[in-house]
Structure formats: C-alpha cells, structure tokens
Amino acid sequence: MNPTELPSIEPTPMNQAAAPSHSLAHLPVALFSTVMGIAGLALAWQKAARLLGWPAAVGQGLVWVASAVFVVVAFAYLVKWLRHPDAVHAERAHPVKMNFVPTISIGILLLGVAWQPVVPAFASGVWAVGAALHLALTLITMSAWIHHTHFEVQHLNPAWFIPVVGNIIVPLGGVHFAPLELSWFFFSIGLVFWIVLLAVVMYRLFFHAPLALRLTVKRL
C-alpha cells in the first residue's frame, strides 16, 4: 500500500454492480459541515450587529438559511440511512469519513446558540440535544480509535480534531442554558484532547509519509 494514500471503502469495478446505484447512497456526511459554516457566519454577524451596528436582519436571515440547510441535509441523510444502511456504516468505519459524523451535532449546537437571542426556550432544547448527541459521538469515536483493528498512522489527519475538540463548541450555548460546571466539563474535554491530538498529528507529519493529496489543498 502506498503510505501516502488512504484505504478506500468505495466499491471497486468488480463489485460496482453490487453497490447501491442510487445517488443518495453517495451523499457524504461531511455535507453537514455546511451548516457549521453558515451558522458560524450567522453568529459572527450577530456579534457584529451588537458591537458595530451592522444590520441585524442579515444575521437572522443567515440563521434561517442555516436551519433550512440543516433540515434538508438531515432529511436526505435520514433517507440514505433507511435505504442504504451499508453506505452509512461504511462512512462510520472509514478512518477519515467517520470523523465528520460529529458535524451533525456541532451543527445542532451552533443552531441552538444562533437562535438563543430570538427564542431562548426553543434554543435551549436544541442546544441540549446537540450537547448530548456530541458527547455520545465523542465516546463512540474514541472507542473506535482505541479498539480499532484497521487504523494505521497514515490514517491520522486534521479531521480527527472534529469529534473531540468539537466539545469546545458546547460552552458557547452552555453559558446561557446550563450550569457553569457543565460548560467546564465539555471545554476541558476539548482542550485536553486538542493538546493530545496536536502532538500526535505533528508526530505523524514529522516522522511519517506526507498527508494524502486528497487531504491537502494544492495552490496553483
């Protein structure tokens, strides 16, 4: 195996006919990261509206857009899960793709924070769902890392930060919705594992083959 390339669980030409033919089977879980981006932009605009006097309507519009994108992507992924469970399982077992599953819970957390100024009771429920889901996904991902049978050092990449370091997002809403100790609990998880993963990723970059081309950005 070329150490700079990641093993693929995509169907090979020999078993292509047996693979799901419906395009929905190839819907990537990483698509939930678009919700993170739009919701993050909405939060930044809300802050700018309070501090710099920018139009607040733009920030609220972005919140609606992020919410709509989440609903559409979540519905599509739910249909994929029901119709093509093998494709969903393959993503959860892939050394790179599995780390994008927690973008679902991070998106929910950011939406909860974004809705807090307008509908705090609804936002509190959304945040609670996101926090509980992210903690569960953190434990599931860490269990997969520890009890793995197929991961190798060349599989390690910056996407591994998402599941555990994403816990730092929880206190953004936790300061409004939950006891302070709960925010410190999630923040400490994210901070500790940020340090751990940073050391491991730097070790992988220094002493092993470069990242696969698909995990890097090439500048022309």
Q: Left, alpha or beta for 8 (phi > 0: left; psi -120 to 50: alpha)?
A: beta
Structure tokens at 174: 């936790």
Using the predicted structure, report yes or no on whether residue 114 has a pLDDT greater than 80.
yes
Using the predicted structure, report yes or no on whether residue 132 has a pLDDT greater than 60.
yes
Specify the number of domains making up the chain.
Answer: 1
The answer as to whether 9 is a domain residue is: no
Residue 18, pLDDT score? 41
The answer as to whether 4 is a domain residue is: no
Residue 220, pLDDT score? 43
Residue 219, pLDDT score? 46
Mean pLDDT (the chain, rounded): 86
The answer as to whether 37 is a domain residue is: yes
Residue 116, pLDDT score? 94
Give the residue from 176, 53, 174, 70 showing the smallest Cα distance to 119.
176
The answer as to whether 3 is a domain residue is: no
Task: State the amino acid at position 1 in one-letter form.
Answer: M
Q: How far apart are CA 165 and CA 67, in angstroms?
A: 23
- φ, ψ dihedrals at 59, nearest 5°: -60, -45
The answer as to whether 15 is a domain residue is: no
Give the residue from 150, 149, 165 showing the smallest Cα distance to 200.
165
What would the pLDDT profile of 88-99 be if each residue is shown by its tens digit?
999 998 888 999
The answer as to whether 81 is a domain residue is: yes
Q: Select the highest-mean-pLDDT range: 4-13, 16-25, 170-179.
A: 170-179
The answer as to whether 1 is a domain residue is: no
Q: What is the CATH number of the domain that holds 48?
A: 1.50.10.150
- What is the residue range of 55's domain? 23-215
